[in-house]
Amino acid sequence: MDTVMLARIQFALTTIYHFFFVPLTIGLAFIIALMQTLYVVKKNEIYKKMAKFWGHLFLINFAVGVVTGIIQEFQFGMNWSDYSRFVGDVFGAPLAIEALLAFFIESTFIGLWIFGWDRLPKKVHLASIWLVSIGTMLSGFWILTANSFMQRPVGYEIRNGRAEMVDFHALITNGQLWVEFPHVITGALCTGAFFVAGISAYNLLKKKHIEFYKKSMNIALIIGLIGSLGTAFSGHAQAQYLVKTQPMKMAAAEGIWEDTPDPAPWSAFAWIDTKNQKNKFELNIPYALSYLSYSKFEGSLKGMKTLQAEYAKKYDRIVGKGTNYIPPVKTTYWSFRLMVGFGMAMILLSMIGLYLWKKGRLEQSSRFLKFLVPAISFPFLANTFGWVMTEVGRQPWTVFGLMTTADAVSPNVSAGTVLFSIIMYTLIFTILAGVMVYLMVREIKRGPVEHQDANSTVSIDPFSKAGV
């Protein structure tokens, strides 16, 4: 395999892994801040217990999120140096601002929160978890500002052979950013909510700490419904936006080869044949795609073949004749459907949960509770498929319309070096995942009890020689 392919695999691997932890961090920080607010307002100790228990799980996850995030920042320079040279002027700024504005807040106030339970006044301590929550969202905002530039470059001019920033305001008002940011944040809320809901369901089934987990579940279900509905609406807005700005991505996500009839049907299932550029079988719902794309029951969409011709005319002079502008269609098509499917399932689950709660039947509905446990994975899967669709669907571009992925890679790094680092990351990630799951399960089994100090027992280190 060549360096480009390996660098892409590494990017996919590290980003997907990193993005298991980020949404859970954002979602849980918000939920914990909410619980602690209830504690400070209602003065009910159970909410303090909740903030502490979920806080323990949060910290186990937070640690991995932070350390895998550093890889992302360094990776642009290590694997994609020509990309960094070309867009650093524009792309670097949001990254630097993210560190300055968000990471410092997160890392300082997480320290104050963890170590401050007995040292800080209640309200200051509450403020620190809210600042952590705000910090995680700000971090999301700035990294998505950078990502949105790659999806839809704005506020730049090509000078001296690179993209130079000319309008910062355009960067932060990028239409792409304002459909992407709410989508990611609401998705993150879902992740936190279904995590809390699933673990609570598991314990309610075991009839452990019923009062504690019931209260946790209520909060989770409300956030889950807000989050999943928000994700659906913002996702819909994003899709409509993409029809205008990245029609090829949407055509691939819908498996449209030829221009659609007017009104356009939506395919729920398609047997895609990329070699002959057609679908062997389609299960279509009439009118639906027109409505999804334009909010009315008319209008057609361009197919990939038409778009290929259009893109060739427009971009061949930048990237060379004969470039294939069609992304991996099957991956894009199925990622899109899986994302939407898991999203819909989450809306349904939150609604059923809230209904059962209202009827006072939640703890008795063991079938529903049993379903909530594996549903912890739904938001993680939806998040991952969402990013796969977004990033794979953008190929062959790194920066849409400006730079291809093949041109972005470091010219001075060998394939062997990249492969070696992939192996190292995979090794470390596997160990980390194992340890993390082990710790989470332990913590969950222990439940919301006051944690005893381990330092009351003196243990002699077998490696140290006495008297050193």
Q: How far is the CB of 173 from another protein (least distance, A)?
A: 14
Token reading at 193: 């909510």
Residue 391 · residue 383 · CB < 8 Å = no
Count the residues of the shown chain that bind another protein, applying the rule CB under 8 A: 83
**Residue 322 or 411 having the CB closest to another protein:** 411
**Residue 84 or 306 having the CB closest to another protein:** 84
Q: How far is the CB of 145 from another protein (least distance, A)?
A: 12
CA 453, CA 259: separation in Å to the nearest integer?
Answer: 67
Which of 9, 12, 40, 95 lies at the binding interface for another protein (CB under 8 A)? 95
Under rule CB under 8 A, residue 76 binds another protein: yes
**Residue 139 or 290 having the CB closest to another protein:** 139
Tracing tokens 């209640």 back to the chain, one arrives at 122
**Residue 90 or 301 having the CB closest to another protein:** 90
Under rule CB under 8 A, residue 108 binds another protein: yes
Q: How far is the CB of 394 from another protein (least distance, A)?
A: 21
| 407-466 residues near another protein, rule: CB under 8 A | 410-413, 417, 420-421, 424, 428, 432, 435, 439, 442-443, 453-455, 457-464, 466
Residue 376 · residue 198 · CB < 8 Å = yes
Under rule CB under 8 A, residue 275 binds another protein: no
Under rule CB under 8 A, residue 97 binds another protein: yes
Among 80, 163, 156, 6, which Cα is nearest to 407's?
Answer: 80
Phi-psi region of 467 (alpha: psi -120 to 50; beta: other; left: phi over 0): left
Which of 21, 91, 311, 400 lies at the binding interface for another protein (CB under 8 A)? 91
Under rule CB under 8 A, residue 166 binds another protein: yes
Q: How far is the CB of 25 from another protein (least distance, A)?
A: 13
Which amino acid would we find at residue 320?
G
Other Cβ atoms closer than 10 A to 214? 15
Under rule CB under 8 A, residue 232 binds another protein: no
147 three-class SS: helix
CA 9 to the chain's CA centroid: 18
CA 251, CA 260: separation in Å to the nearest integer?
Answer: 10
Site string for another protein, 192-231 (x = CB under 8 A): ----------------------------------------
Phi-psi region of 106 (alpha: psi -120 to 50; beta: other; left: phi over 0): alpha
Under rule CB under 8 A, residue 13 binds another protein: no
Residue 139 · residue 100 · CB < 8 Å = no
| 42-71 residues near another protein, rule: CB under 8 A | 59-60, 62-64, 66-68, 70-71
| 167-196 residues near another protein, rule: CB under 8 A | 168
Q: How far is the CB of 366 from another protein (least distance, A)?
A: 31
Backbone dihedral angles phi then psi of residue 269, each to the nearest 5 degrees: -150, 135
Site string for another protein, 129-148 (x = CB under 8 A): --------------------
Among 196, 96, 209, which Cα is nearest to 146's?
Answer: 96
Token reading at 429: 């990630």
Under rule CB under 8 A, residue 161 binds another protein: no
Residues 6+ apart with CB under 8 A from 170: 154, 155
Q: How far is the CB of 451 from another protein (least distance, A)?
A: 10
- Cα dihedral 298, 293, 175, 94, rounded to 10, equals -160
**Residue 136 or 308 having the CB closest to another protein:** 136
